[in-house]
Structure 1
């Protein structure tokens, strides 16, 4: 299926002593509709393996221009006995494959705990967080006071992966990516937000979309040195402003939409419905 793409490049000028980090926020992988089953469904386990394989690939990608350096899974333990392990299971294969510690101490409703965890991250961190989707809007607001990200997680997505009929909910393929910035003594704040897709297409599927190798513009010079042509109709050259490569995003930025369109379903359609070809927006 042919798909339209929008590329947004944001290059911000900030003090030299400022800290930067990259936060990828995802919903846990596919679950069963039966609420008494608190672990991942088979497709969810396959997605977890896909994440592990693609996130540890040697080539940089849009989701990980640099290798992941921190992993956090929301914890859910209730008096009712509903102790979901799904976020932990989603990231456990990646933790095993990469050797990274998988933190699992923050309760899924503890937004302040989430923010406190982020505060401990050093500059240059590349963190992947798996959580309950109902809380992701509140997690986003903790680092996004300007409202770049949506207020709630979507219930419909433009994804090539068709959700299994047995599961509950949707949009398991979505990535909310934030480029975080902080001045000395301050908390992390989002400088840019992007709505991406993992590109999961079932067991054994190749790394695609945000996981596609060399999909981040900072890697284009590396490919050119290796003799791989990156020239395509309408393609803009890579931005040479260092960390700006982390701000190259697919889809659309919520903050760029007119106010009257913000109530529409999430996806790329509002920006692209007038043209089936690639679109490029450069903001420097």
Structure 2
């Protein structure tokens, strides 16, 4: 039996406001977060665990993006890992027994998503690197088989 999750969904937070000082989602981002609350469980099944980059003075957007989903499926959000600590998160997800054979959702900041995927063992070229700063509607579906991983890019239909 594998010690890795069955599936890790990696996504960027939803849309941000024009004001660079505003740490919250824009109106469009809030609408996307609400859509994701239904879309993710219908498309992939409900995640067993939800992670969001820790809230900082600069951004609460990853948390705000997954909050409607967490509320809908009754799961807590782990927002204890800082954005730049993606390596520790990857190591934990790949080795901690509670994540073995589970579905995990990770919502992060776009600048560190490629590095997070590298740390998860994903091959360069299977995911956007760098992540385009205008893209908010892409989910990366990471599956593990033996010692390798596969990444499927899934575009949200909204």
The bucket for the TM-score relative to the shorter chain is 0.7 to 0.9
Q: What is the 5 A alignment of 1:1-284?
A: 17-19=1-3, 20-57=5-42, 61=43, 64=44, 66-77=45-56, 81-82=57-58, 84-118=59-93, 119-120=95-96, 121-144=98-121, 146-147=123-124, 149-150=126-127, 152-155=129-132, 169-181=133-145, 190-200=148-158
The answer as to whether partners of 2:122 and 2:151 remain within 8 angstroms in 1 is: no
Greater C-alpha radius of gyration: 1
TM-score, normalised to structure 1, is 0.50
The answer as to whether partners of 1:179 and 1:192 remain within 8 angstroms in 2 is: yes
Q: Counting helix residues as a fraction of each chain, which structure ranks higher?
A: 2
Can you list the C-alpha shifts for 1:161-181, whole angstroms capped at 9, x where unaligned? xxxxxxxx3111111111024
> C-alpha distance in 2, partners of 1:113/1:88?
18
> C-alpha distance in 2, partners of 1:71/1:181?
22
The CA RMSD over aligned residues, in Å, is: 2.0
> C-alpha distance in 1, partners of 2:37/2:26?
17
Residue 117 of structure 1, CA deviation? 3.4
Gap change, CA 1:145 and 1:126, over 3 Å in 2: closer
How many corresponding residue pairs?
155
**Structure 2: which 5+ residue stretches go unaligned?**
none
TM-score, normalised to structure 2, is 0.87
Gap change, CA 1:139 and 1:153, over 3 Å in 2: same
Gap change, CA 1:151 and 1:198, over 3 Å in 2: closer
